[in-house]
Structure 1
Amino acid sequence: MKTTLLPFLLLLLSVATLAQTPPIKGVVKGIIIDSAKNAPLGYATIALVDAATKAPVKSTLTKDNGTFELKDLEIKNYLLNVISVGYTSKTIGINTLSSTKPEADAGRIILAPSNAQLGEVKITAAKPLVKQEIDRMSYDVQADPESKAQTAMDMLRKVPLVTIDGDDNIQLQGSGSYRIFINGKPSALLTNNPKDVLRAMPATNIQKIEVITTPPAKYDAEGLAGIINIITSKKTDDGYNGTVTARYNFPWGPNINLSTTYKQGKFGLSGFLGTGRQVPTKFESGSYRETYSPASVFTQNGIFDNAGGGWGYGSVETSYEIDTLNLLTASLNYNFGDFRNSSNKLTQFSSQAPGILPQSYNLINIGGNGYTGTDVSFNYQLGFKRNKQQLLTTSYRYTDYNNGQHNDISSINDVNYNGPDYTQRNNAGEQAHTFQVDYIQPMKKLTLEAGAKAILRKNTSETEATVFSIRNGQGSFVEDPSRENDLIYHQDVYSLYNSYTYKLTKWVFKAGARLERTQVDANFVTNATTLNMGYTNIVPSLSAQLMLPKNQSLTFGYTNRLERPSIYQLNPFVDRSNPQIISTGNPNLRPVISDLIELTYSKSGTGSFSTKLSYMHTGGMAVSVIRLISDTLSETTYENVGNSKILRWNVNGNNPIGKKVNINYSTGLFYVWISGPYNGRFYSNHGLRTNTFVSGSYKPGDGWSFGLSYGFNRRYIMLQGSSNDYMYSSISAYKTFANKKLTITGVVNNPYKTYNQFTNYTSTPDFYQSNTSNNYYRNFSLSLSYKFGKLSSDIKKNQRTINNDDLSGK
């Protein structure tokens, strides 16, 4: 019976299987042709959308031979969009798919070269957030659904290789030595107080953020870890448009931002401006120091009262196209800020040394700081008829930055303490004139770039101090010449560069070198001494990229970089706002040189993935060091004593899940070694660091979007100490109205804790010292954004302009 039944069951199963015929799937194929060369065009983007709903269906890239094929398609009508940089886009209707004819051959699709993308196709498929180029990695802010709800600082947290700690201090590849630009050049907006600008600037102002880890020779050699370049959005067409955003953040306060563009004929203008108020806030802070011989303990704990203040920033760029070969551009950037603060800290000291009485007093510090920054630039670009990519550019730039600090220090409730009351004032600034010439000569496969540059820079520092003194029974503040320390510091940098880019079918090579001569002339006005020195650096750079099948690439880079000390490190002003923990700069600092080598694999498509392995070595690094002057006094300064090695592995990616969910992740794992001698001792520190970030967004439709993110950063590794770990998170939502012109956004950052305790500590054989602040961490913001205007054609701007990226100050 079993023998008869088994074949019968198998027969029934076969019949059922045949009855469930799978649906017929369609195929669309074709070949893309370059009309100018009459040759196949590789790596063109093919995007297929539903003809009825305009929803994205599939996308791919053409092969080296220009062919493409899209499989497993539903039988319906489609629109085939063909896009390639430098070519006019094209849209073709696919209306011939049927169950009897499931294959549609689009045949030869001809693309014509174009100087500008005409924008006739709107691609609605998800774009990769991260793109790897031969010498940089870029994060597409506009492709991030959360960009409508977040600030520029929030976006920076997501960028691979960038780390932001609990106090919003930025590091690149684990290093604090980098340059940060706006639109390819340093800006007054980010020179004095970048935190306020980045916290207030809406991410909708930003197009993308570039991380240039192996800068080519056209960039100044400064920035050991590389360059962060923030590129702002500029839909600069005939007509005008703009976006105004008002935001209130609790507990920080309100701010408003306006970005706009205007173009009429040959004249164009674009810019943005913003202002904000910082409402009064309070948080606890403290210091602890323990010395070992003689044994003593010093503590300070109290309230830091941020009494409020305000800031503003603005940027404008203009362009006038004289004719097709002559272009004039100019830009103006300005920002300012003024903040007030005070603190009341209970200070206690005890020692086991004989004859030393315990001390106790309340230290009162009332002060503030203010800054202004201005830079103006003019550029003239000359084109050539025989080749529109051949350009000669001349540029001039003037910068003026000023930063002022003032403190009134006193004590009350004194027990065995007789320190005088005193005041201190310091005004530090920088003025610079920059002249630059750049030339680009493209050939068939080779592009030559060359240029010359001169930066004439003057740094100044002026200090005033008074001490409360009693004379003839009357008390008054009198000048204290021993605390004055004025400086005039001239630093002139002259440079030449030459670089070459060679493109093959699958390979791209970029190599160059930069020669820089630096001349320093310093005058220590207070003690009538001078410093004269000069040094020459040759900075090479080499990058190579191999394009692999299926939109993959392998990139190698090497560069030799240097760091010149900034006025903030050089300033001899002794900051005694805390009389037991003082700090000062070091005008004798010398430049620092590093070597960086890296290897990157990346893959892009509907999602993206990349992994990078890098190694950086820095000798004679200018590091922050602390020494004990007495058991009640420590001094922090900078010295060229650090020898640093960083081995880093980074993984990042972006994965859309269906049409509504998008996941973005980035993990950096790096090991740090740092060593060097200071104050008669040799220090060595090492350890594992990591920074991990993951975010997700959900767009259910009807103008709604929700976002969730989490990040974890492991401690800093410093020559004499370290810091604690920290984590952060964010929940956001936004809704668009009025045909996407009006957007309402809500964000909650770090909802799990009100304050974040951030501690830096120093540990030596003589003493242990820590500084802790409990900063506000949980914050809420609500914003309203409105878009207006309409544009229709592109503005021209210079392809070369001045980039003073030669200093370490940010």
Structure 2
Amino acid sequence: MKLKITLILMLWLAGIYVSHAQSLAERNIIKGRLIDSLTRKPAEFVTVALKNSNNKQIKTVVSRTDGAFVITDVQPGKFIINFTLIGYTGKSLNILMDGSKPLDLGDVAINASAREIKAVVVKATQPIIKQEADRIAYDIQADPASKFSSVLEMMRKVPLVTIDAEDNIQVSGNSAYRIFINGKPSSLLERNPKDVLKSMPASSIQKIEVITTPPSKYDAEGLAGIINIITNKTIDDGYSANIGLNERLPAGGPSIGGSFTTKSGKFGLSAFGGASSFGNPLTTSSVLRKSKSVSPSALVQAGGQKSDSQNAYLGMELSYEIDSLNLISGQFNLNGGKGTGQSSQSSVLRNDTTVTQQYSLLTDNDNIGKGADLAINYQKGYRRNKNQLTTFSYRYYGFANNQNADQLFNNRVNYTLPDFRQANKSVMSEHTVQLDQVYPVNKINVEAGAKIIVRFNESDFQYLSQDAGGNYLTDPSKTNTFNNRQTIWAGYNSYQYNINNWSVKAGVRVENTDVGANFLSTASQVSQNYFSIIPAVALSRRFNTTGISFGWNQRIQRPGINQLNPFVDRSNPIFETSGNPDLRPTKGNQLRLGFNWAAKGSLVASLNYNWIQGLIFPVSVYDEVSNITRTRFENTGTAKALGGNINFNYPLTQAWNLSMNGGLMHGWATGVSNGKPIKNHGFMFNANVASSLKLNSGWRTGVNIFADGGRLTVQQHSNAYISTAFNVSKDIIKDKLTFSAFTNNPYKRYRLNVTNSFGPNFNQISRDQQNFSAFGASLNYKFGKLKESIKKNKRGITNDDISN
């Protein structure tokens, strides 16, 4: 009842506000609706320019997805309106505005170009960044670097997104986010997205959205929001494709990726795929841990490691239009990968100057995993209201992963742990059923829906210890079989209201999660049930060349299988890590105030404040008796962060462009370790500056400088670093075939990553040598034959919950 009253009150307040705004701006507006003269369908994203009698441009707006446009605050007089869109012939209208009432132009038909466009010369700069009330979109195709870059490399330029030297992705400084492809989750990006994004050519995607305030129709998973990669495009009877080949050395390897889109009549197909091989040459690492006990000790470990991995992926989306009101669509994704690694380590423990323990360790490990998801959606439209939709969806997702490691000791001093093997087999499967309804009521767009998710996680981990005869026998005390089941019931209701240049989005989502876990080997169980109410509000206002936005939302982060799995990783016996089946979800709040400007260049700036309760983080506890540091995920943390982000893009000349993407944040984190409170705070920053220069004969060169101020968690902080990249590219066949070469950090072969960790009774410094210098080349080819212009689809079906 309280929820219903709250929603009614929100609508009532919005109605009062809108009525007041309408009374002020009821007159002196020009409005209309743009349609395709042939298909009679709405023409979206058409540039509408208002000029005075002297042909001087006064205002510019862009038509919405339903073709409607509104020009406000127009004083009485004679004007000219121009309508322009690539693929259509331009159109102009002479109008007279007397100021006594709004001027409604009704349906304005524009004609598609009758001949094939051989070449297009764009005089104005295509805007790269577009901001809405709840998201920021980066137009990849408007950036020339997309011809020769991977998706991961292009993400460095996307507002609010950070890619560090190890290619780890963060959104607003947070690693708890979701990645979708075309508005839907994909098994390709669930476990290790950076491997896929490295091999995916940027030329195969249209844009990247950062959904900062996800509407209530999206699942509440992901504290920082959602990264949505738009790859598919609907074409009218034809096909388009592209393929990219890349090579990266010394750390890296060859990769291939591409996409294909076709449509014939009522049938459409969009597919993308790729494969890569990644080699990480030998690097060194060291750890220095000092205890704070009455009898202090010092542990020194040093060693080296190398690894190799291969992965491949294939994604496919299909659609069939039964008629103008009924659509069937589906998706199918496959991915797999495997890897091997070897490491050596020496470990020495001292009390004062006396060696109390010593050993050398050789580790040989391998892993293999595969995943798949399958979805089918039915969408029904209605003749009485073409914006009303009902969608029914089903999705299956599953993956399996096997990890194995052999540990061999020698050079022992006071160390009796025998050689051992450990193996962990984990399997995850999920079934989801969802029903969505979109129903416009006057000028309010109402969305409602319900969802059921049933998820199963299984883990079988074994520890085998070598006996005196050289045989490996299972150790029951360190072996277990773990089953975890989650059932999630969810419902949402959201509202969107657009008036003139204002946009208001508000909604609420409710989720009930039931969790059951069984430990078969120890005959113990865990049972949990929690209910969550997640509101979201987004507001934006567009002016001529600027806009402002405000957003507030709550998000939750359910623990993933790796965080729940009690498997104890003893690959470094002095540092044990494990999951925690008792974990509960983390709840976070985010306030965001944004500003954007778009004219010759673009500027997007935002101020953010985040606070998180029940933070899931790895708690490290040092045991002075066994001299082992044990790390386990806990819910004992809280975190707050205040900061801002800025993205600036400006064409210095027609051939020379400059862009900057960065953020500054101060974070406060608290937790509990070994029964005692701990806290950490400090500034975190990152900045990416890129410049590109277009030369003659299809040549282009660019430079990229990235600075990172280090990461901060409850028990850790890492060092700062600067990275540089240089690239050059050549259009061999204009807009078809492009060759490029690059070098990263050519002056420095390795980078030393220094991480400081601490607890109530220890301090620790870890130094990891990482391959920093790299060089490589790529070849990208686009081809296809289109009978008509490319158009974007209006709506996608979302089915988007899964634990990371």
State the TM-score bracket (shorter-chain normalisation): 0.7 to 0.9
- Aligned CA-pair RMSD: 3.0
Any residues of structure 2 matched to 1:63-74 within 5 Å, and which?
63-64=71-72
Q: State the partner residue of 1:585.
A: 579
Q: State the partner residue of 1:403.
A: 401
Q: State the partner residue of 1:206.
A: 205
Equivalent pair of 2:183/2:796 in contact (CA under 8 Å):
no
- 1:492–1:797: structure 2 CA closer, same or farther, 3 Å change rule? farther
For the residues of structure 1 that align with 2:455 and 2:193, how far apart are their CA atoms? 21
Equivalent pair of 2:234/2:268 in contact (CA under 8 Å):
no
Equivalent pair of 1:321/1:796 in contact (CA under 8 Å):
no
Any residues of structure 2 matched to 1:330-729 within 5 Å, and which?
330-352=330-352, 357-470=355-468, 474-548=469-543, 550-630=544-624, 632-729=627-724
The amino acid that maps onto 1:45 is T
Q: State the partner residue of 2:15.
A: none
> Which deviations, in whole Å up to 9, do the C-alpha atoms of 1:567-600 show, x marking residues without a partner?
0111100001111111000110011111111111
The amino acid that maps onto 2:306 is D
For the residues of structure 2 that align with 1:43 and 1:788, how far apart are their CA atoms? 25
Equivalent pair of 1:329/1:797 in contact (CA under 8 Å):
no
Which one has a bigger Cα radius of gyration?
1
Q: State the partner residue of 1:243.
A: 242
Out of 775, 799, 802, the residue aligned to residue 803 of structure 1 is 799
The amino acid that maps onto 1:619 is Q
- 1:621–1:68: structure 2 CA closer, same or farther, 3 Å change rule? farther
1:504 deviates by 0.8
1:633 deviates by 1.1
The amino acid that maps onto 1:612 is S
Say whether residues 1:735 and 2:735 are aligned partners: no
Structure 1 stretches lacking a partner, 5+ long: 1-30, 49-56, 72-78, 95-106
Equivalent pair of 1:397/1:802 in contact (CA under 8 Å):
no
Report SS of the residue matched to 2:756: strand
For the residues of structure 1 that align with 2:745 and 2:235, how far apart are their CA atoms? 37
- 1:426–1:117: structure 2 CA closer, same or farther, 3 Å change rule? farther
For the residues of structure 1 that align with 2:799 and 2:436, how far apart are their CA atoms? 12
- 1:477–1:796: structure 2 CA closer, same or farther, 3 Å change rule? same
> Which deviations, in whole Å up to 9, do the C-alpha atoms of 1:741-799 show, x marking residues without a partner?
11111121222311121122211231112333211111112111222221234688682
Equivalent pair of 1:249/1:779 in contact (CA under 8 Å):
yes
For the residues of structure 1 that align with 2:235 and 2:74, how far apart are their CA atoms? 33
Report SS of the residue matched to 2:196: helix
Say whether residues 1:305 and 2:306 are aligned partners: yes
For the residues of structure 2 that align with 1:374 and 1:207, how far apart are their CA atoms? 24
Equivalent pair of 1:166/1:758 in contact (CA under 8 Å):
no
Q: State the partner residue of 2:168.
A: 169
Equivalent pair of 1:235/1:791 in contact (CA under 8 Å):
no
1:36 deviates by 7.3
For the residues of structure 2 that align with 1:626 and 1:579, how far apart are their CA atoms? 14
The amino acid that maps onto 2:499 is L
Q: State the partner residue of 1:15.
A: none
1:235 deviates by 5.5
Q: State the partner residue of 2:178.
A: 179
Equivalent pair of 1:130/1:140 in contact (CA under 8 Å):
yes
For the residues of structure 2 that align with 1:518 and 1:412, how far apart are their CA atoms? 49
The TM-score with structure 1 as length reference comes to 0.86
1:111 deviates by 6.8
1:362 deviates by 1.8
Equivalent pair of 2:204/2:258 in contact (CA under 8 Å):
no
Q: State the partner residue of 1:155.
A: 154
> Which deviations, in whole Å up to 9, do the C-alpha atoms of 1:140-194 show, x marking residues without a partner?
1111121112211111112111122222221111112111111112111111221
For the residues of structure 2 that align with 1:47 and 1:298, how far apart are their CA atoms? 70
For the residues of structure 2 that align with 1:345 and 1:643, how far apart are their CA atoms? 35
1:222 deviates by 1.2
For the residues of structure 2 that align with 1:118 and 1:624, how far apart are their CA atoms? 62
Say whether residues 1:272 and 2:280 are aligned partners: no
For the residues of structure 2 that align with 1:365 and 1:798, how far apart are their CA atoms? 53
1:361 deviates by 2.5
> Which deviations, in whole Å up to 9, do the C-alpha atoms of 1:286-342 show, x marking residues without a partner?
222111222111111111021x23110110111111111111111111110000011
For the residues of structure 2 that align with 1:406 and 1:68, how far apart are their CA atoms? 77
Structure 2 stretches lacking a partner, 5+ long: 1-28, 36-42, 51-55, 62-70, 94-102
- 1:373–1:226: structure 2 CA closer, same or farther, 3 Å change rule? same
Equivalent pair of 2:141/2:203 in contact (CA under 8 Å):
yes
Equivalent pair of 1:488/1:522 in contact (CA under 8 Å):
yes
Report SS of the residue matched to 2:206: strand
> Which deviations, in whole Å up to 9, do the C-alpha atoms of 1:677-735 show, x marking residues without a partner?
23221111111111111111111243222111111111212112211112222111211
1:358 deviates by 3.4
Equivalent pair of 1:128/1:604 in contact (CA under 8 Å):
yes
The TM-score with structure 2 as length reference comes to 0.87
Equivalent pair of 2:620/2:759 in contact (CA under 8 Å):
no
For the residues of structure 2 that align with 1:282 and 1:637, how far apart are their CA atoms? 29
- 1:210–1:776: structure 2 CA closer, same or farther, 3 Å change rule? same
- 1:116–1:586: structure 2 CA closer, same or farther, 3 Å change rule? farther
- 1:93–1:134: structure 2 CA closer, same or farther, 3 Å change rule? closer
- 1:343–1:248: structure 2 CA closer, same or farther, 3 Å change rule? same
Report SS of the residue matched to 1:387: coil
Any residues of structure 2 matched to 1:778-797 within 5 Å, and which?
778-793=773-788
1:566 deviates by 0.6
For the residues of structure 2 that align with 1:222 and 1:351, how far apart are their CA atoms? 47
Equivalent pair of 1:407/1:577 in contact (CA under 8 Å):
yes
Report SS of the residue matched to 1:358: strand
For the residues of structure 2 that align with 1:90 and 1:310, how far apart are their CA atoms? 49
Q: State the partner residue of 2:760.
A: 765
1:279 deviates by 3.7
Report SS of the residue matched to 1:388: coil
For the residues of structure 2 that align with 1:376 and 1:67, how far apart are their CA atoms? 55
For the residues of structure 2 that align with 1:735 and 1:118, how far apart are their CA atoms? 32
For the residues of structure 1 that align with 2:554 and 2:370, how far apart are their CA atoms? 33
Equivalent pair of 2:590/2:611 in contact (CA under 8 Å):
yes
For the residues of structure 2 that align with 1:47 and 1:258, how far apart are their CA atoms? 37
For the residues of structure 2 that align with 1:742 and 1:378, how far apart are their CA atoms? 36
Equivalent pair of 1:438/1:800 in contact (CA under 8 Å):
no
